[in-house]
Amino acid sequence: MQFGTNCAIKVQLYEYRHSYQQEDEIFSVYSVQYINRSDSAAAGQVGLTDLKEFCMQPKELRKEIANGTFTGQTAGECSGFVQANLVVLPEEYATDFEEFCRRNPKPCPLLEKVGPGSHLTTTIADSANLLDTIPGYLVWENGQIVDQAANIRRYSRDNLVFFLLGCSFSFEQALIDADIPLRHILEGKNVAMYNTSIDLEPAGPFHGKMVVSMRPVQHRQVARACAITAHFPDVHGEPVQVGYPEMIGIAALDRPDYGEAVAILPGEIPLFWACGVTPQNVLRQARLPFAITHAPGHMFVGDLRNDHFARCSLRA
């Protein structure tokens, strides 16, 4: 079966069919819907390994973002490739923020620092322009959002420093590969995120509380989910809380502070991971005269594969 280059692929994990083992590699077979940008559609079945051949590559996605074709949230996009949160600060605050990341590696794992004097990546992607390769930006002044933008070209200046922080979207493929379904992807939503009562270690003007993302997991799979994500400390690692949202100051799971609420089914337990939206909470407290972040759920997608960040093998 041939697929055009304009064909975006959405894996319908609801319709999981079966898995089998071949040459010591596990393949999962899903029902896959092929959705053309011109609105024509076809359906078929392919193995997960074959699916990677047809999924959009990060460079292609970044090109679509830059020209305004892609504007959505990035969960499930470019399967297998690293995603990152963004914080952009004037140079005078960069040293303190870098120290803040060092002191708070769970919510703020620093993957790359760019600038001042440049907005092109060198580590997690090859010369990607951070001014227009994220599908949603927030512009901050004095702790308040003053603009939501598709690109930040007009805000560019030589004294800006760009921080790319690890994102939990990067460990999601490992969970899916372990047959742990992710409700926000199944429901086509942005992941649910919550403010918490967990204190952060301050540095300079940066202080506040941690933000977490939540994914419901069947109780029999909780230990496996914790073990898998622990292999990815550079993209938030294992959960910071399992099963008791009230212990970290979350009063109502159906009212997330960011993203969208998802169903929690019988037998499922909510797991909470440190989240890269944490700096946005911190910026509200710091009240800097100027800053830029990604919009929650709208990440930078890099060229490195997620397994680059795994500290050891995930094979059982």
Residue 79 shares a structural domain with residue 157: yes
SS3 49: helix
Answer whether residue 124 is part of any domain: yes
pLDDT at position 150 is 96
The per-type count for the chain, helices as H runs and strands as E runs, is 7, 15
pLDDT tier for residue 52 given thresholds of 50, 70 and 90 = very low
Residue 210 shares a structural domain with residue 90: yes
Number of domains in the chain: 2
Residue 264 shares a structural domain with residue 298: yes
CATH number at residue 193: 3.30.2040.10
Answer whether residue 178 is part of any domain: yes
Rounded distance between C-alpha atoms, residue 92 and residue 259, angstroms? 31
Domain range enclosing 141: 74-316
Residue 291 shares a structural domain with residue 204: yes
Residue 157 vs residues 110, 133, 160, 244: alpha-carbon distances, Å: 22, 17, 6, 44
233 preceded by cis ω (within 30°)? no
- Give the pLDDT confidence of 87-130 residue by residue, as tens digits: 999 999 999 999 999 999 999 999 999 999 999 999 999 999 99
- Give the pLDDT confidence of 54-87 residue by residue, as tens digits: 568 999 999 999 999 999 988 778 888 999 999 9
Residue 217 shares a structural domain with residue 137: yes
Residue 190 shares a structural domain with residue 233: yes
Residue 147 shares a structural domain with residue 193: yes
Residue 144 shares a structural domain with residue 48: no
Residue 45 shares a structural domain with residue 167: no
* CB neighbour list of residue 133: distance below 8 Å, 6 or more residues apart: 62, 65, 66, 300
Rounded distance between C-alpha atoms, residue 75 and residue 168, angstroms? 10
Cβ contact 124:112 at 8 Å: yes
Q: Residue 24: what residue type?
A: D
pLDDT tier for residue 36 given thresholds of 50, 70 and 90 = very low
Residue 182 shares a structural domain with residue 51: no
- For residue 316, the tally of other CB atoms under 10 A from its CB is 7
Cβ contact 232:164 at 8 Å: no
H or E segment and range at residue 18: strand 18-22
Residue 223 shares a structural domain with residue 120: yes
- Give the pLDDT confidence of 269-309 residue by residue, as tens digits: 999 999 988 999 999 999 999 999 999 889 999 999 888 87
Higher per-residue pLDDT: 25 or 144: 144
